[in-house]
Structure 1
C-alpha cells in the first residue's frame, strides 16, 4: 500500500512540475509575442524579399566576385532607386490634383450644368437624383453647407487612406533594408531555417519543407507582386508621357488590382477611351492606345513563366490572400497576404499527401 502511495505522490509532483513549466513557457511566449507583434509585418515582408532576391545575389556574386554584404547593399540601393519611380509618380499626381482643385475653387469658375428633365423619370432614384443635381447647379454653397458632416467624414477617410499608403511605403523601405541585412547572412539563415524545420518535422522532412516554402515564396512573390509591379511601371510611364491626369494614382490602382489578380484593362480601357474622346484619333493617341493595351496584357505572358516554377497555387488562394491581407494589415498586407496564404496552402496539401502507410482511404477499405 505504501509503495502505491509513494508512486502516486511522485506522479502528482511530476505532473505539477510539468504544468508549472508549461505555464511559465506559455507566459514567456505570450510576453515575447506582445513585444514582437508590432514588427511582425515588417519582418515577414523582409524575409519574403530576402528569399526572393537571394538567387539574384548568388548570380551577382558569381559575376562580380564580391562578398555577400556588398552585393546585398548594391541590390538594396538599386531597389530603392527603382521604388522611387512609382513614389514620385504618386506624389506628383496627388500634388497636381490638389493644386488643380484649389485653383479651380479660388477662380470661382467651377460650374455644374443643370440636369436633363428625363433624369427625373428614372425609377426609384430619378427624382432624388434630379433634385440633388439641380440644387448643386443652382445653389452649390448651400448644398455644400448641408452635407458638411458627410464631406468631413469622407475627407478624413481619404486622408487616413493616404496616410496608410505613406506608412506602407515607409515600411516597404525599412523592410528592404532589413532584407539586405538578412541576405548578407544568407548561408547562415538558410542553415538555420533547415535546422528549425528539422526540429519541428524531423530530419527527413525538414529540408523538404524548407525547400517547398522557399519555392512557394519566390514563385508567388515574383509571379504576383513582381508582375503587378512591372505592369505598374510600364503603364505608369505611358500615362505620364501622355499627360494623363492623376497618372500616379492610376498607376497605383494598376498595382493594387494586379496583386488582387484582376485584369489591368479595368484601368487601361477607360483611360484609352478618355484619350480618344479628349484628343481624337491621332498618331500619338493610336500608339498610346496600342502600347497601354499590350502593357495591360503582359501579365498573361509573364505569369506562366514566373508563377508556375515548381509550385501550383490556385488564383483564388492568391486573391483571398491579397484581400484578407489588405483588410488585416493595410497596404503592406496586400503584399504579404498572398505569399503567406500560398505557403500555408502548400504546407497543408503536403501534410494531406504525407499520410502514413496503411492509413489512406484505399488501405482502410482493404482491411
Structure 2
C-alpha cells in the first residue's frame, strides 16, 4: 500500500505532537528536579530511616492503641534522646581537641625530639628526612613559615570537614523527624511504593521489587551503618571518659572504618598501648583496655544479628558506596552512599536474573 500525501501529513503532525509533549514533559521534569535537588539528601536519608525503623513501629503500635502517629512520635523522641548524649560528648571532645591544638601552636608548646643519626643512613629518603626532622626540632617557627600556604590550606580544609560533620548530624536529626512523619503514614507509603514499582516493572514483579529494595535498605542500614554508629558510640564514650586526646576525632575514624568494613582494632589497639605507656598498668587502665578491646570487637556479635537476612551485598560495593558518597556529599553521603549503591547492585542483578524465556539470540528459530 502506497502512503498518500494525506496520510504522510497526518503522520508528520502526529510525530510533531509527540515531540512537543515529550519536550514539555522533559522541561517539567528538569524544573521539578532543580527545585527538589537541595532536599535530595535529606529526603533520601529520611526514607532510609523510615524503612529501617518501621518494623519497630509495627511492634510498638499495638501497645499504643494501634495509633501510627503516636508510635512514630515516640520512636523519634526516644531516638533523639538516646543520640543526644553521645553526640554531645563527641562534639565537645572535637571542639576541645581543635582548641588545644591551636593553643599549643600559638604558645609554641610543640616539642619535637632530635632525630637519631641512623635516620640519615636510610636509603633514598634518609638525608632529606634527617634534614627536615632536624630543622623541625631546632627551628620549628622558621620551618612553619615556609609552609604557611600549605598549612593554611590544610587547616581550612580540616575546619570545613569538621563543619560538615556538624551539619551532617543536624541533617540527621531533621531526617529523623521527617522519617517519623513517613512512618505515621507507613501503610499508605508501602502501598504507594508497590504501585510505583508495579507501574515500572509490571504487576507481577512490582511487589517483589519493592520487597527486595526494602530488605536491602534495612540490611545495609542496620548491618553496616548502624553497627558502625553503635561501635563509634561505645568506643567514643570510653575515649571521652578516659580523657584520650582527640577522642572525638578518633571516634569519627572508628565510624569511617566501620562503614568501610575495616576492623576498629586499627584504632583501639594503638590507643590501649598509648594509655599503658603514659599511665602504666593499674586497675583503671586495665578496665579501660578490656572495655575498649571488647567494644572494638562488638561488630562480630552485632553483624550476625543485624546484617544479612537473605541479602548478599559484597564488601567492595559497601566500600565504594561509602567513599563515593563521602566525596560527593560529605558526611551525610557516608551514610547514604552504601545504602543507595547496595540497592542499585541488587536491582541490577535482579534484572540480570529475570531474563525472558526464549528471548535470547540462541533461542530464535533458524531460517
**TM-score, L = length of structure 1:** 0.94
Query: Unaligned regions of 5+ residues in structure 2, if any?
Result: none
Q: How many positions carry a matched residue from both structures?
A: 367
- Check the 8 A contact 1:93/1:248 in 2, yes or no: yes
| CA pair 102-320 structure 1, distance change in 2 beyond 3 A | closer
Displaced runs of 4+ in structure 1, greater than 4 A? 105-109, 360-367
Mapping of 1:102-121 within 5 angstroms? 102-105=102-105, 108-121=108-121
Secondary structure at the counterpart of residue 330 of structure 1: helix
Mapping of 1:178-257 within 5 angstroms? 178-257=178-257
- Check the 8 A contact 1:89/1:247 in 2, yes or no: no
Q: Using the alignment, how far apart are the partners of 2:102 and 2:314 within structure 1? A: 46
Over aligned residues, Cα RMSD in angstroms? 2.2
State the Cα distance separating 1:338 from its structure 2 match.
Answer: 0.8
- Check the 8 A contact 2:325/2:333 in 1, yes or no: yes
Q: Using the alignment, how far apart are the partners of 1:331 and 1:144 within structure 2? A: 30
- Check the 8 A contact 2:90/2:237 in 1, yes or no: no
| CA pair 365-273 structure 1, distance change in 2 beyond 3 A | farther
Q: Using the alignment, how far apart are the partners of 2:110 and 2:334 within structure 1? A: 38
Q: Using the alignment, how far apart are the partners of 1:3 and 1:133 within structure 2? A: 87
Q: Which residue of 2 aligns with 1:130?
A: 130
State the Cα distance separating 1:362 from its structure 2 match.
Answer: 8.3
| CA pair 128-340 structure 1, distance change in 2 beyond 3 A | same
Q: Which residue of 2 aligns with 1:90?
A: 90
Q: Which residue of 2 aligns with 1:282?
A: 282
Q: Using the alignment, how far apart are the partners of 2:364 and 2:257 within structure 1? A: 46
Q: Using the alignment, how far apart are the partners of 1:318 and 1:325 within structure 2? A: 10
Query: Unaligned regions of 5+ residues in structure 1, if any?
Result: none
- Check the 8 A contact 1:322/1:335 in 2, yes or no: yes
Q: Using the alignment, how far apart are the partners of 2:111 and 2:183 within structure 1? A: 57
**TM-score, L = length of structure 2:** 0.94
Instruction: Find out whether 1:359 has 2:359 as its counterpart.
Output: yes
Mapping of 1:68-87 within 5 angstroms? 68-87=68-87
Q: What do residues 280-318 of structure 1 show as CA deviations (whole Å, max 9, x unaligned)?
A: 222322222222222111212221221111311111111
Q: What do residues 26-82 of structure 1 show as CA deviations (whole Å, max 9, x unaligned)?
A: 111111111111111111110000010011111110123252111111111121122
